[in-house]
Amino acid sequence: MATVVVQGADVEPSVGALPLPEELEGGVVVVKFGGSAMVDGNLQRTFAQDVVDLWRAGVRPVVVHGGGPQVSAMLDRLGLEVRFEAGLRVTTPEAMEVVRMVLTGRVQRELVGCINAHGPFAVGMTGEDAHTMTAVRRSARVDGRPVDIGLVADIVDVKPDTVRVLLEQGRIPVVSPVARGTGGEIYTSTPIWRRRRWPRPCAPNGS
């Protein structure tokens, strides 16, 4: 499985104009979409076109998105204090409610809509769904001392069954990085995608 990181200006040029390596055909490619590109409508549409071009070329894309700029904007609009430690936002339970709302209710819906402008391809989901992703709370260190950054976690396990089903149906999964802990607590996460945990290459639906 290859991983394509798409962030900021890296969305250009369109992959539709580029030859794809033979080994990618029929394979699963995890595509990360984040950074400043997420708040630029033109770049969102370009990214969506690129993802659909991958699908039409026989690649099975799985999109994982961020949404930091939108979350920060909403926290500011609601007047919630934002504090950073070690370069990471401290996510309080109140902030986590906003993170969940923005990532799954706004950012994901916009991205799914952009992809589905080209046809009935994209299906949105989160790491919570069907326990797809399990997270462990992350600790940070500042000047050698531990710092609590709240409900922020690293992904330690991925169960790809639901993603595999969507791929076999010819869909494009769009995954929000919200995941559950082993005790059922909800975290915002930095996805760590490991090859052995994602679906094996599968043929396009109907072939």
What is the pLDDT, as a whole number, of residue 120? 96
Q: How far apart are CA 165 and CA 157, in angstroms?
A: 18
- Please, which residues have CB within 8 angstroms of residue 61's CB and are 6 or more apart in sequence? 28, 29, 30, 31, 51, 54, 55, 172
Q: Which phi and psi angles does 76 have, rounded to 5°?
A: -65, -40
Please report how the helices 108-116 and 41-56 are oriented relative to each other, as an axis angle in degrees rounded to 10: 50
Q: Which phi and psi angles does 206 have, rounded to 5°?
A: 90, 0
What the chain holds in terms of domains, given with CATH numbers, is 2-197 (3.40.1160.10)
Query: Is residue 34 helix, strand or coil?
Result: strand
State the pTM of this model.
0.82
What is the pLDDT, as a whole number, of residue 17? 43
What is the pLDDT, as a whole number, of residue 93? 93
Amino acid at 97: E
What is the pLDDT, as a whole number, of residue 201? 42
- Please, which residues have CB within 8 angstroms of residue 180's CB and are 6 or more apart in sequence? 127, 128, 131, 133, 134, 135, 186, 187
Is residue 160 within a helix (H) or strand (E), and if so which, with residue range?
A: none
**Among 54, 52, 35, 31, residue whose Cα is nearest residue 43:** 35
Q: Which residues on adjacent β-strands are paired with residue 124?
A: 174
What is the pLDDT, as a whole number, of residue 19? 57
207 residues of the chain, pLDDT tens digit each:
334 433 333 333 344 445 566 666 678 888 888 887 788 889 999 999 999 999 998 999 999 998 988 998 999 999 998 888 777 778 999 999 999 999 999 999 999 999 999 999 999 999 999 999 999 998 888 788 888 899 999 888 889 899 999 999 999 999 999 999 999 999 998 655 444 455 544 433 333
What is the pLDDT, as a whole number, of residue 7? 37
Q: Contact, 40 vs 11, CB < 8 A? A: no
What is the pLDDT, as a whole number, of residue 172? 97
